[in-house]
């Protein structure tokens, strides 16, 4: 018998996931997930489809989004969980981020063309119709064209920061993003905080500042961290005042084979407490 699980960080084809929103929900149901959040990058396009599928499957659905935030080092991603509506402010930020994403894609494609590789935005769009395109899709196209063997190789050689085809991204301002999420009835949560690339000795004051600016939750448990790091982040969250969330950051086996729905750091199943005792009371 499957044990009920929670997953508060997943992606669909509305951004850079493998499964359509409804297919993602059906897979979650098969895996025994009872509470599921869809948090696509800089878009809410898949939420209605996923919500309808979740209702049919008997899954508690959490409407979400993952916003890119302007940050001097590493990456700052802000989850908006429990959205009740899409406010004018959130819609505006999403539109701005989508415009910035398209500009970045065009700049990356120009670099690839300069290297003598035939590529166009139209060709990538044909390969991934209806999706919010980004570096993972460009990496997928490079695999299709046999420039590299895997998406990870595309990042390692060409698309990651410091590599020849990398282009800096533009993010939303933190204070504006926090307001936009709250005005949409949701709660802001800092995703995978180790991606900020701040040392353990300095991360405490940074997280305190983020908390003071209105971010309410911290995703201590994430597939990309070790259990020891997750425990340490949870302890930091308690000291700072954050509630704690957990997610797989699932994109699909074809995208990230090391991540499984309903599972997080160390392959651990995501316990109901992250919904019942953490996120739900904050909504």
pLDDT at 3: 54
Instruction: Compute the distance between CA of residue 82 and CA of residue 61 in angstroms, rounded to an integer.
Output: 9
Could you report the average pLDDT of every consecutive run of 10 residues in the chain (283 residues)? 80 94 97 97 96 97 97 92 98 96 95 94 90 89 94 93 91 98 98 96 97 98 97 98 98 90 97 96 96
Burial class (CB in 10 A: 0-12, 13-18, 19+), 84: exposed
Beta strands in 113-242 (DSSP E): 187-190, 217-222
Query: Could you identify the residue written with the tokens 């930020």?
Result: 93
Residue 2 is classified by DSSP as: P
Instruction: Compute the distance between CA of residue 137 and CA of residue 267 in angstroms, rounded to an integer.
Output: 26
Judged by DSSP in three states, 97 sits in helix
Token pair, residue 53, equals 């599928």
Instruction: Say how many C-beta atoms besides its own lie within 10 A of residue 276's C-beta.
Output: 12
What order do you get walking across the sheet with 217-222 strand by strand? Answer: 5-7, 33-38, 60-69, 76-81, 187-190, 217-222, 243-247
Instruction: Compute the distance between CA of residue 47 and CA of residue 81 in angstroms, rounded to an integer.
Output: 12
pLDDT at 186: 98
Angle at 248 between CA 177 and CA 56, to 5 degrees: 90
């Amino acid at each position: 018998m499957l044990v009920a699980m929670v997953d508060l960080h997943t992606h669909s084809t509305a951004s850079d996931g493998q499964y359509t929103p409804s297919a993602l929900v059906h897979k979650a149901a098969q895996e025994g997930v009872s509470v599921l959040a869809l948090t696509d990058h800089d878009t809410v396009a898949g939420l209605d489809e996923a919500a309808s599928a979740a209702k049919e499957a008997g899954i508690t659905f959490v409407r979400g989004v993952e916003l890119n935030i302007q940050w001097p080092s590493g990456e700052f991603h802000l989850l908006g969980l429990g959205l009740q509506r899409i406010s004018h402010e959130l819609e505006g930020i999403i539109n701005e981020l989508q415009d910035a994403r398209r500009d970045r894609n065009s700049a990356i494609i120009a670099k690839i063309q300069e290297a003598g590789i035939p590529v166009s935005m139209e060709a990538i769009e044909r390969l991934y119709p209806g999706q919010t395109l980004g570096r993972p899709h460009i990496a997928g196209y490079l695999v299709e064209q046999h420039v590299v063997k895997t998406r990870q190789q595309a990042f390692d050689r060409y698309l990651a920061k410091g590599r020849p085809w990398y282009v800096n991204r533009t993010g939303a301002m933190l204070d504006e993003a926090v307001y936009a999420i709250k005005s949409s009835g949701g709660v802001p949560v800092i995703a995978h905080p180790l991606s900020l690339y701040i040392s353990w000795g300095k991360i405490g004051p940074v997280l305190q500042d983020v908390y003071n600016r209105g971010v309410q939750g911290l995703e201590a448990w994430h597939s990309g961290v070790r259990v020891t790091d997750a425990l340490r982040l949870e302890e930091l969250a308690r000291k700072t005042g954050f509630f704690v969330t957990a997610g797989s950051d699932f994109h699909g086996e074809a995208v990230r084979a090391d991540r499984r729905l309903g599972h997080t750091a160390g392959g651990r199943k995501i316990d109901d407490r992250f919904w019942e005792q953490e996120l739900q009371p904050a909504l």
